[in-house]
Amino acid sequence: EIVIEKMEVMPDHVHMLISFPPRKSAVDVIKALKGRSAFLFLQTHPEIRQKQYWSGHLWSSSYYLGSLGNMSKDVVERYINDHKYNAYKK
């Protein structure tokens, strides 16, 4: 039901374009994405959990969420593409 249409992982945050049915609340969608991704990541990388980073949490409790509104999906996809992290630039 939740579709990740576009995603770029940055050093300290993630850009995502997601779609979900209107019957789902945005808060519930964010909780589901953060919860499931943290579970899978920490299952794959138990050494991170053992170091107790971030008080034992993978994600911070905050997030930014915006709706497309009058923007087209193409505009948001272009923004995400244009803001890809390039480790070689540093």
Give the catalytic positions in this structure. Answer: 79
Report the domain count for the chain.
1
pLDDT of residue 28: 94
pLDDT in tens, 26-84: 999 999 999 999 999 889 988 877 776 666 678 888 898 888 888 889 999 998 988 88
**How far is the C-alpha of 26 from the C-alpha of 47, rounded, in Å?**
31
72-to-29, 37, 39, 67, 83 alpha-carbon distances in Å: 21, 27, 32, 10, 17
pLDDT of residue 19: 93
pLDDT of residue 71: 83
* Domain housing 84: 3-89
Q: Is the pLDDT of residue 86 over 80?
A: no
Q: Are 38 and 59 in contact (CB under 8 A)?
A: yes
This prediction's pTM: 0.75
Helix (H) or strand (E) holding 43: helix 26-44
